[in-house]
Amino acid sequence: MRRTIAAIIVAGALVSLPACGNNDANTDNGTSVTAESTTASSTKSTTVRSSSVTSTADLGMIDQAKLAAFVVAFRTAYPDLAQDREDESIQEIVFTSCNDIAAGVSEQDVTEEIRDLAANNDTEATQAQAEQIYKLVTPACP
């Protein structure tokens, strides 16, 4: 329970941080990370899943603060599922789930997909964890 409360507090702080800035210019520096470069640098074997979502434009605009808040909340609440994972791997849970929700996939089916996406090496998400992750994902969807 304390982890959940802490995750919510951190998520709330991260969501409100962009409101404090005054830099409205697009600061895209053209840097991108490919799946090949992230998996090549990893010492452990991880599964890289391909999503039909190639950018946030495909889903409307996913708020980057909400996406970052999800990653922090996920890492805080589920350290066993987040261990040795890149942020992009955790963000894929949001992209795929939001894509499914937008396509009209049922909550039960999205939750099952979350169980697969949240799995980390030999550690699998329980049904209860997947349901909680679903509740964390939905606010990030456009």
Number of domains in the chain: 1
C-beta of residue 90 within 8 angstroms of C-beta of residue 82? yes
Q: In the structure, how many helices (H) and strands (E) does the chain have?
A: 7, 0
CB 105 within 8 A of CB 59: no
Whether residue 30 is contained in a domain is answered as no
* pLDDT given for residue 61 in this prediction: 75
Q: What is the pLDDT of residue 118?
A: 96
Give the pTM: 0.60
pLDDT at 2 (0 to 100): 59
Say if 44 falls within a structural domain: no
Tens-binned pLDDT, residue by residue, of the chain (142 aa)? 556 565 565 555 544 544 444 444 444 555 444 444 444 444 333 444 444 444 444 445 788 999 999 999 999 999 999 999 999 999 999 999 999 999 999 999 999 999 999 999 899 999 999 999 999 999 999 8
- Beta-bridged to residue 60, according to DSSP, are 58
Amino acid occupying residue 56: T
**Residue 62's pLDDT is what?**
84
Domain residues for the domain of 142 are 1-18+61-142
In a domain, 69, yes or no: yes
Residue 42 lies in a domain: no
User: Looking at the domain assignment, is residue 105 inside a domain?
Assistant: yes
Domain membership of residue 109 (yes or no) is: yes
